[in-house]
Structure 1
Amino acid sequence: SDGWQDISAHKKMTWRYSSAPNGNIALTGEIDLVEGDGECVTALAFGRTPEEAGQQARNALFKDFDSIQQSFVEGWLESRPQNENLGNIHESGFDLYKVSNTVLRTHEEKSYPGAVIASLSIPWGFSRGDDDLGGYHLIWPRDLAQAAGGLIASRDTIHAKETLLYLMSTQEEDGHWLQNMWLDGSPYWGGVQMDETAFPILVADHLRRINALTGVDPWPMIQRAAGYLVRNGPVTQQDRWEEDGGYSPFTLAVEIAALLAAADFAEQNGDFGQASYLRETADAWNENIERWTYVAGTELARKVGVKGYYVRISPANSDTETSSSTLVAIKNRPLGQNILPGEQIVSVDALALVRFGLRSPEDPKILDTVKVIDSVLRKETKTGPVWHRYNLDGYGEHEDGSPYDGTGVGRGWPLLAGERGHYELARGNLDEADRLLHVMEAQASPGGLIPEQVWDAEDIPSRGLHNGRPSGSAMPLVWAHAEYIKLTRSIRDGKVFDMPPQTVARYQKSKTCSKIGSWRFNQKIRTVPEGKSLRIETLAPAVVHWSLNDWKTTADSKTIDTGLGLHYVDLPSNKLSPRTNIVFTFYWPEADKWEGVDFQVAVSKP
């Protein structure tokens, strides 16, 4: 009953069926061109009801076709002057830069300015039922922020500002954004991804730095988002691949960059205490990235010939120090094959530490991690190299080419070639960045659409799968087109276009170190390095009752309100010698009660 298959095989409609059960219904029609002297006009209309769609179609047929066509074309031509001309004609005949800008604009819902959905497609949609309502027809705040970055890169700041306004209007009361949502802001999935709360801050900061925030005050939004980050971070419930929780190098990089950007806004709005607190929190998180996510001396490190590498994600335990040998659950894999030690799982996500300015591209730990990434995740195809999200990824077609059905084999993502191109550019390797830009072009469809994934195994013509060409995943992927635009702009500029300057100045140039060790109920550190103050952070006002000699003598310290929903006090552990124990508990004045539990942190050698 598949009309497309019938026409493809026979060049006309030959199959007849009395019913079409079990599956999606697709309308296939046959037009008698002889009756219309070789011409016909087709009206395609949409509506909330069949009657509304029918009325719209009939109305359109009564209008002059030439004037409608001219109006349509003029609408697109008007948008072109807003984009900087950076493109080149690819061998396919398309200027992928212009196509990519068009893709971004096409995915914006016209009745919700700034609302750019992730894709008009549904991954492996031909195998999905009619009850799969979402697909990628939703707003992901992360993808929307990427689209905003693409618009900024092409100098379409008007529409980039619209995306910021849309984000401002859909922020939750507590400061975070939904994992994904319908256009009106109602939720679809219920996960929390901390990078999706950090990215809107970076969008606002980028627009601020190019003087494109006229008429918009994003500070209230930024303050709420920063408050959510400091109250709930740095651990994320889900990483950017929407699967695992813990310490993610990618999420950490975005969070820290966002806190520094938020500090600039706080300072600009006269709140210097809040600005100082945000920077101190960013410094503390930045200094612990390696402790949380870097491993050394593992079997994989020895196999590749490096000292160590950043892992994909490290699970967090609120009562203990983090260990990357802790087991990690890998989604999209069969039971029995989905639990592995975290030190065995690597990801391209570590490159975000360079992309967002926290680490130099020549940092030895980064260079070693890149070697591991290429050893484990890189694969050559007929159109160029691809990188997988992480090893043992199960989000993709099965080995026989059958569609992803909850399990499968992860394939190469063209947008990751763009991210690698930005890393190479950060290293000063302009030629390699340019080569990877062309790889993205080669992996696009004949019509210039960049897919989510490309098939990286042997050809399976019967399933339409060819090495280095689009797989059955989402196409186009707005995120991928935005990454292509940004890489085009970065190559033109000779530097990474969207690298935040705050992180580079603070951590690469000034080498700023943290002066604190942070203890909180969701992150109970056991030690604080010698020379650092012990910062105790709570979600409510408290009096910290503490002792340095097992309660023989005591002191009381009141917490300070940050204005971000967090309270803190610094205990003078920076003046203590190693092996000194700080014992403390809490009195909660608002509830008029004691915590009833003692906690302990020891001063350790750096």
Structure 2
Amino acid sequence: MSDMIDFATGAPGIGSRWTSSAKSGVGTALSVASPVWFTLSHGILNEIYYPRVDSACTRDFGFLVTGPDGYFSEEKRDCEQETTPLEDGVPAFSIVNTALDGAYRIRKQIISDPARAVVLQRISFSALKGRTRDYRVTALLAPHLVNAGASNSAWIGEFEGAPALFASGRSRYLALVSSAPWRAMSAGFVGTSDGWQQLSRHGRLVDQYQRADDGNVALAGEIDFSGGDGSVVLALGFGQTEHEAAAVATRSLKDGFDHALDKFITGWRKWQDGLVPLDRKAEDGINAYRVSTAVLATHRASDRPGAAVASLSIPWGYSKGDDDLGGYHLVWPRDLVETAGGFLAAGDAKAALAILDYLRELQQPSGRWAQNFWLDGKPYWPGVQMDECAFPILLADMLRCQGHLNGKTIRRFMPMIKSAAGYILANGPSTGEDRWEEDGGYSPFTLAVEITALLAAADILEAEGETKAAHHLRETADCWNEQIEKWTFEGDPDLCRSLDIAGYYVRIAAPGATDAAGPAGETPIRNQTPDRSIMASDAVISPDALALVRFGLRAADDPHIVDTVKAIDHTLRMELPQGPLWYRYTGDGYGEHEDGRAFDGIGQGRPWPLLAGERAHYELAAGRTDAAKALLETFEKSANAGGLLPEQSWDGPDMPDRELYFGRPSGSAMPLVWAHSEHIKLLRSLADGAVFDMPPQGRSRYIEKQTASRIRIWRFDNRLATIPAGKKLRIELADAATIHWSADGWSTVKDIKTKPSGLGTHFADLPLKGVEPGHAVVFTFFWPESGQWENVDFTVRVGEQVDRQLETEF
């Protein structure tokens, strides 16, 4: 290394960026000894994660080819790429990159070493024009340790007498070693002195810099392909020190690529062989089921059982820098429960139980979960999503109903279930933010999840002897369920007339004006709603309403559902080459701009393959199995060439310069684990002839028994203005109180003490029998703990009779 120059020029380099989210493969070894995950795109390695699945440590790792007469070629841009798994359900990959100009071909096999934190590539290079020795092949590695491209350092060093390429950042290290000699090596700053700049200008590494510190750095190493069988193995190792990183990489080389490959394949075969056989081989040879199961397992943490991220990708990553730390390699409770459902549908109950246990550990003291978080539970986004507070209860109940959670096991989860149910009870039914992390209000999707979770929690609590709390949850669920249409069924009058429908369930509805009132004589401050006629002209349509069927609260042929499906298909259905897909909702702005530019906070939403899976489940619930099967075909054909399902599909004209093609994946996340989970569940549902993850409680209670509610609930954050005649008025509070109330303008007064619900709230029911419609109930509170009065009167008016039969039952 005597010819090297001490320090690279051009610090700190250009601003760092991530890379394409259009992954062609994702992989990891099923081994706790190998805490490393890799992704592939455009024929090269992209982000590699270490030591946790939420910690990206590289941007990309590919090869540059230079030759006579200024020849310069970059395999990720200038090759036709073919990426295939070595075996069904095993994320070990073969890549063949053939230069578009026909000059050369690079073949690779890529795995991670099951015994250590190392990614291995076995590479061969062949000249298709001229001779192999006419070309120089240089590896170019862009470190981004950890989740950041800035403030990295790169250098050339040695380990056990052999040269190695090193990088560090945020107390993590990587080392790249080769089974063949390096002809030249250099560390540089991206965009100024890195290997790409040198090779594009000179065809070789003319300046071999030893160090590039504190910037956006890159490592380059020219490979000698002249020895042996013409193939070279590169080992990229990771560690807590440079010595550890180099040591694990060197040991992998010594053990040999074939040794690691055998262990890698054996581990995956053993897991895949234990799953339910739902295999489907498409015409292109892709076994879509095994791709989906491998995607789910690849996204799990190795050191934190039960943890799994939403996607090993950063949507539109090529436009994102260090200010977007998370990408999708974060944990969303909703996505995680959907993942658990995929594992359970595939027959891996152990994985689903681990996910439930992980969620139990990371539940917040309030009973909810953070909107999303890192593996250790540290929140990333600050929002509150009520469906994410309910989904873990549904997972516990699904495991219980299928016989995987009982006796001592279920008791371990009782505090989690009870606390989550209490949070929903005290804070629902409004959404916080909806499942797309945007608006708040009443959402059919969130209502479906919340109501079903309360019913599921009630069954679990009752089985453990907590009958009063169970009864309270069911009464609350009944109350909310009975008002779903009142809260969310409306619609644009012109659209309804044109479609000959009564209305439709809207994506998000603010709490109705008749549901929210402040103290007597005051305008409500919270939950205030615009005039309903204004809302009707802006009623957003979404397939989310189909959750009412998916979770068993409404029949597939319910007239409200049928009308909503007509509205959904009229406004959100998009015909693509693979079949129909649906948009998330009218006016969605999450997607590329019309001209194909990356989403940058604004854009235009594109169709989601995931929603084809959800629609297929609705069709199955409606008894239309052939329609569900056709949508399965559409779902699978929305995947890329390797079977990976994208978040969104491109719905505009082809834009080859932006790699956007009609019906193919857009620049959003790929793979989306949630979509692969839905795919597995759809396969299982079709095999079973019934929706796999439909909870039984709602269907039994509301469709078969048609259970009605006898109450309406008043809370400080949900202040009713009116109550239908024939209902009891339930006052639910955070603390114990005496309710001082009157139904005749304070001429006569009654006091009633609240009682604990057993779920963290206190309540009392005011019997309104005999109070005529149009009259008002007035009440206030005495707080015994503080010895103070509320000193504000609250008013609820009795409305028209809604159910004569119910009235006679009080």
1:9 aligns with 2:78: yes
Q: 1:162 aligns with which of 332, 343, 354?
A: 354
Do residues 559 (structure 1) and 559 (structure 2) align?
no
Distance 2:502 2:434 in 1: 25
Distance in 2, matches of 1:471 and 1:327, equals 37
Q: Aligned partners of 1:342, 1:243: CA distance in 2, in Å?
A: 20
CA deviation after TM superposition for structure 1 residue 20, in Å: 2.5
Higher mean Cα deviation, 30-39 or 109-118?
30-39
Q: Indicate how the Cα distance of structure 1 residues 326 and 107 shifts in structure 2: closer, same or farther if over 3 A, else same.
A: farther
Q: Superposition pairs for residues 3-402 of structure 1, below 5 Å?
A: 6-7=74-75, 8-9=77-78, 11=99, 20-21=190-191, 31-48=223-240, 50-213=242-405, 216=409, 217-296=412-491, 298-316=493-511, 318-319=516-517, 343-402=538-597
Cα offset, 1:65, TM superposition: 3.0
Provide Cα deviations, 1:407-442, integer angstroms capped at 9, x if missing partner. 111001110000000000011000110111111111
How is 1:488-503 mapped onto 2 (pairs within 5 angstroms)?
488-503=683-698
1:549 to 734, 737, 744: 744
User: Residues 165-195 of structure 1: CA distance to partner in whole angstroms, max 9, x if unpaired?
Assistant: 1111110011100000111111111111000
Quick one: structure 1 residues 304 and 323, their matched pair in 2 at CA, closer, same or farther if it must change by over 3 Å? farther
Moved more, 298-307 or 98-107: 298-307
In structure 2, relative to structure 1, the CA distance for the partners of 1:210 and 1:394 (3 Å cut) is same
Aligned residue for 1:570?
765
Aligned to 2:644: 449
Report the more deviating stretch, 152-161 or 312-321.
Answer: 312-321
Alpha-carbon spacing, 1:154–1:28, altered in 2? closer, same or farther (3 Å): farther
Q: For the structure 1 residues 522 and 408, does the alpha-carbon distance in structure 2 shift closer, same or farther, using more than 3 Å as the test?
A: same
1:431 aligns with 626
322 and 369 in structure 1: CA distance in 2 versus 1, 3 angstrom threshold: farther
The more displaced of 212-221 and 233-242 is 212-221
For residue 525 of structure 1, the aligned residue among 705, 713, 720 is 720
Deviation (angstroms), 1:350:
0.4
How far did 1:164 drift?
Answer: 0.6
TM superposition shift of 1:402 = 1.1
Amino acid at match of 2:604: V
Rounded Cα–Cα distance in structure 2 between residues aligned with 1:108 and 1:581? 56
Shift in Å, 1:315: 2.1
In structure 1, the residue corresponding to 2:234 is in which secondary structure?
Answer: coil
Q: Counterpart amino acid of 2:252?
A: A
When residues 47 and 299 of structure 1 are mapped into structure 2, their CA distance, relative to the original with a 3 A threshold, is: farther
Unpaired runs of at least 5, structure 2: 1-13, 15-61, 65-72, 80-98, 105-135, 141-185, 193-214, 518-523, 803-810
Partner of 2:605: 410
Q: Name whichever of 23-32 and 248-257 sits farther off.
A: 23-32
Distance 1:494 1:598 in 2: 55
Secondary structure at the residue paired with 2:238?
coil
Query: How many residues align structurally?
Result: 595
Between the aligned partners of 1:252 and 1:38, the Cα distance in structure 2 is 62
Asked if the contact 1:311–1:343 (Cα under 8 Å) also holds between the matched residues in 2, the reply is: no
Equivalent residue number for residue 590 of structure 1 = 785
The whole-number CA distance in structure 2 between the counterparts of 1:467 and 1:323 is 40
The 3-state SS of whatever aligns with 1:573 is coil
CA shift at 1:92, angstroms? 2.3
Report the AA paired with residue 190 of structure 2: A
Shift in alpha-carbon separation, 1:58–1:450, aligned structure 2, 3 A: same
Q: One-letter code of the match for 1:178?
A: A
**C-alpha contact (below 8 Å) 1:314/1:324 kept by paired residues:** no
SS in 2 for 1:42: strand
Q: Distance in 1 between matches of 2:242 and 2:378?
A: 25
* Conserved 8 A contact 1:6-1:14: no
> Secondary structure of the equivalent of 1:201?
helix
The answer on whether the counterparts of 1:298 and 1:343 sit within 8 Å (CA) in structure 2 is no
8 Å contact kept, 2:452–2:695: yes
Task: Give yes or no for the alignment of 1:463 onto 2:636.
Answer: no
1:139 and 1:19, CA in 2 relative to 1: closer, same or farther beyond 3 A?
A: closer
Q: CA deviation at 1:26?
A: 6.6
Q: CA deviation at 1:122?
A: 0.6
Alpha carbons 2:743, 2:771 under 8 Å: kept? no
User: Could you say if the C-alpha distance between residues 482 and 539 of structure 1 is closer, same or farther in structure 2, counting changes exceeding 3 Å?
Assistant: same
For residues 184 and 14 of structure 1, the distance between their equivalents in structure 2, rounded to whole angstroms, comes to 41
What is the CA distance between 1:27 and its match in structure 2?
A: 6.0
How far apart are the structure 2 equivalents of 1:452 and 1:411?
9
Write the letter of the residue equivalent to 1:114. Answer: G
The amino acid of 1:60's aligned partner reads S
CA-to-aligned-CA distance 1:220-268 (integer Å, 9 cap, x gap) = 1100000000011111210000011111110000000000000001101
Q: 1:76 to 1:505 in 2, by over 3 A?
A: same
1:180-222: CA deviation from partner (whole Å, max 9, x where unpaired): 0111111111111000010000000000011112552311110
Letter in 2 for 1:396: G
Runs (5+) with no aligned partner, structure 1: 329-339
In the TM superposition, residue 472 of structure 1 has moved relative to its aligned partner by: 0.8
Decide whether the 8 Å contact of 2:306 with 2:351 is kept in 1.
Answer: yes
| 8 Å Cα contact 1:314/1:326 also seen in 2 | no
Q: Is the 8 A contact 2:137 2:222 kept in 1?
A: no
What amino acid is aligned across from residue 418 of structure 1 in structure 2? G
Q: Which residue of 2 aligns with 1:337?
A: none
**Structure 2 CA distance for partners of 1:25 and 1:9, relative to 1, 3 Å:** farther
Bigger shift: 176-185 or 38-47?
38-47
For 1:585 and 1:244, locate their aligned partners in 2 and report how far apart those are by CA, in whole Å: 33
Partner SS state of residue 267, structure 2: helix
Q: 1:592 to 1:358 in 2, by over 3 A?
A: same
The amino acid that maps onto 1:306 is: I
Name the CA shift for 1:239/1:544 in 2 (closer, same or farther; >3 Å). same
2:784 partner letter: P
CA distance in 1, matches of 2:569, 2:241: 51
The separation in 2 between residues aligned to 1:45 and 1:62, in whole angstroms, is: 13
CA distance in 2, matches of 1:565, 1:98: 45
More deviation, 550-559/291-300: 291-300
Task: Give yes or no for contact 2:734–2:762 (8 Å, CA) kept in 1.
Answer: yes
Which digits, 9 at most, give the CA deviation of each residue in 1:560-591, with x for residues without a partner? 10121111100011443322211111101011
Asked whether the 8 Å contact 2:491–2:536 carries over to 1, the reply is: no
TM-score, structure 1 length as denominator?
0.94
Structure with more of its chain in helix, by fraction: 1
Greater CA drift, 361-370 or 25-34: 25-34
- Secondary structure of 2:236 counterpart: coil
Note the C-alpha offset of 1:322. 7.0
Q: Secondary structure at the match of 1:486?
A: helix
Indicate if the aligned counterparts of 2:363 and 2:416 stay in contact, CA closer than 8 A: yes
The answer as to 2:702 corresponding to 1:507 is yes
Aligned partners of 1:492 and 1:48: how far apart in 2? 47
| Paired amino acid for 1:89 | K
CA separation in 2, counterparts of 1:49 and 1:299?
Answer: 67
